[in-house]
Amino acid sequence: MADLIVSKKSIKELFSELKTKKIIIPDYQRPYKWDIDKCRTLWEDLKEFYTTEAKKHSDYFLGTIVS
């Protein structure tokens, strides 16, 4: 089994590391259905936060992401 390394990262750091990779949300992840509208809503929310709150050094809690 692989070791689990936990760290806090900014959205910018996370996306910089993953920019050459494809992000896939598996069907089995929670009962929450990730259709295109919900993905778009999350993406728009992240962009809005980055252009407004991030400049104030605010935190955005995205939750746990296992990559």
Q: CB of 49 within 8 A of CB of 60?
A: yes
Cα distances from 29 to residues 26, 54, 65, in angstroms, run 6, 28, 11
* Model pLDDT, residue 66: 58
Residue with more model confidence, 57 or 40: 40
Does 67 score more than 60 pLDDT? Answer: no
Give me the residue label for tokens 């962009």. Answer: 47
Give the residue-averaged pLDDT of 2-22. 79
Q: Which domain holds residue 30?
A: 1-67
Q: Give the model confidence (pLDDT) of 13-53 as tens digits.
A: 877 887 888 777 666 666 666 788 888 998 898 888 888 87
Q: Give me the number of domains the chain comprises.
A: 1
Q: Pull the structure tokens for residue 53.
A: 């709150």
pTM for this one? 0.47
Q: CB of 67 within 8 A of CB of 32?
A: no
